[in-house]
Amino acid sequence: MSTHTIKKLDAAIRDIHDFPKEGIVFKDITPLLLQPDTFKLAISELIKTAAGQKVDKIIGIDARGFIFGAVVAHEMGIGFIPVRKLGKLPHDTESISYSLEYGEAEIEIHRDSILPGENVLIIDDLLATGGTAAATVQLVQRLGGNLIGASFLIELTFLNGREVLGKDVPIHSLLTY
């Protein structure tokens, strides 16, 4: 990615201090969504992370992963799968609980969304501790999907999410902080 592209994406992300609680610097991607050319740039760079690979479906993680993942899927002409927080998906689901910094969370996927052997790419806005993405990886594996990678707009490297995901998952992040 060129320095110009990195600068353009970086300039469209706003730091909100002490949100949602004290000590957290929240990476607000809503300014980027308001700039059509920068939003387009983010999408095309996310698509490039899968260059040369056959991708059958995109998985987007609740909720900002839906914004980026759905557009990537639409642009690539492939299906989109939402991984949602517990209780939102209406059909048969596979679910998994995982630990957050404080407490537990649970996410779900529709069982019929991935066919065994299909190549899937996970998309989310941000890789922090990696808990959410690692749980999503497990859901993909349980359904017999072939995970080709996980791509993020932002990675907070100091939280070591990459290690939680493990070496078997190719990870791409457009911006690292």
- Catalytic residue ranges: 64, 101
The two tokens of residue 134 are 């690692």
24 binds ligand AMP (CB under 6 A): yes
131 binds ligand AMP (CB under 6 A): yes
127 binds ligand AMP (CB under 6 A): yes
Residue 151, C-beta contacts closer than 8 angstroms, at least 6 positions apart: 46, 49, 50, 121, 122, 123, 171, 172, 173
Cβ–Cβ < 8 Å for 64, 118: no
Pairing of strands 146-155, 119-127: parallel
Nearer to ligand AMP among residue 6 and residue 105 (C-beta): 105
In the bound complex, what is the minimum distance in angstroms from residue 52's beta carbon to ligand AMP?
A: 26
Cβ–Cβ < 8 Å for 122, 140: yes
In the bound complex, what is the minimum distance in angstroms from residue 45's beta carbon to ligand AMP?
A: 18
Q: Which stretch binds ligand AMP (CB under 6 A): 42-50, 67-75, 83-91, 131-139?
A: 131-139
DSSP string, 57-105: EEEEETTHHHHHHHHHHHHHT-EEEEEEETT---S-EEEEEEE-SSSEE
In the bound complex, what is the minimum distance in angstroms from residue 115's beta carbon to ligand AMP?
A: 26
In the bound complex, what is the minimum distance in angstroms from residue 29's beta carbon to ligand AMP?
A: 8
Sole binder of ligand AMP in the list 41, 58, 64, 122 (CB under 6 A)? 64
- Residues near ligand AMP, by CB under 6 A: 24-27, 61, 64, 124-133, 161
